[in-house]
A = this chain, B = another copy of it.
């Protein structure tokens, strides 16, 4: 099709520790459950309502999976950018099922940790630098960091190599106008 876009942007919390599986040829696949929540006031009753939506996120990216495995825990708040994908499968009883997921694949999409620690625990962790430049803007390159820290490395890095990014002229390495 001439020109299509399929993008999902989520900011939400991880509902349980991620699951990492492997394909037959050894590549890792991470599965995340992300909750977003919508709140509103019921017009009639005036009650405060809240509805949580659960999103299944699947990550096909070796470096991202490493990061997830090490630092993403239940409770973590993440920024996720991926694409919608619906899979058809057959359950044990032979019934056809459909499952729609948010897929992060290759250089598409992003996963950024938005809180200081993997899950509110407070530990600050360091993130491996991957050789691959797996981030899109708003992705790992612009993600990360750590905080408070404890025992280990005080940093939680999400790095990004690969490209002479930021290779814009020195000219812009300056101040701000406001």
Q: Which residues of A contact B (CB under 8 A)?
A: 1-16, 33, 35-41, 43, 46, 48-56, 60, 74-77, 79, 81-89, 95, 97-100, 102-103, 105-110, 112-117, 119-120, 129, 131-139, 141-148, 154-169, 171-178
**B residues in contact with A129, CB < 8 Å:** 41, 48
Q: Is the CB of B168 within 8 A of A75?
A: yes
State in angstroms the CA–CA spacing of A149 and B162 once bound together.
16
Q: Is the CB of B156 within 8 A of A48?
A: yes
- When C-beta atoms are compared, the residue in chain B nearest to A41 turns out to be B161
In the assembled complex, the CB of A167 is this many whole angstroms from the nearest CB of chain B, namely 5
**B residues in contact with A79, CB < 8 Å:** 3, 5, 11
In the assembled complex, the CB of A144 is this many whole angstroms from the nearest CB of chain B, namely 4
Q: Is the CB of A3 within 8 A of B85?
A: no
Q: Is the CB of B176 within 8 A of A48?
A: no
State in angstroms the CA–CA spacing of A105 and B96 once bound together.
30
State in angstroms the CA–CA spacing of A35 and B142 once bound together.
11
Q: Is the CB of B86 within 8 A of A100?
A: yes
Knowing A75-B167, A156-B39, A171-B87, say if A2 contacts B177 (CB, 8 Å): no
Q: Is the CB of A166 within 8 A of B112?
A: no
Q: Is the CB of A50 within 8 A of B105?
A: no
Q: Is the CB of B106 within 8 A of A133?
A: yes
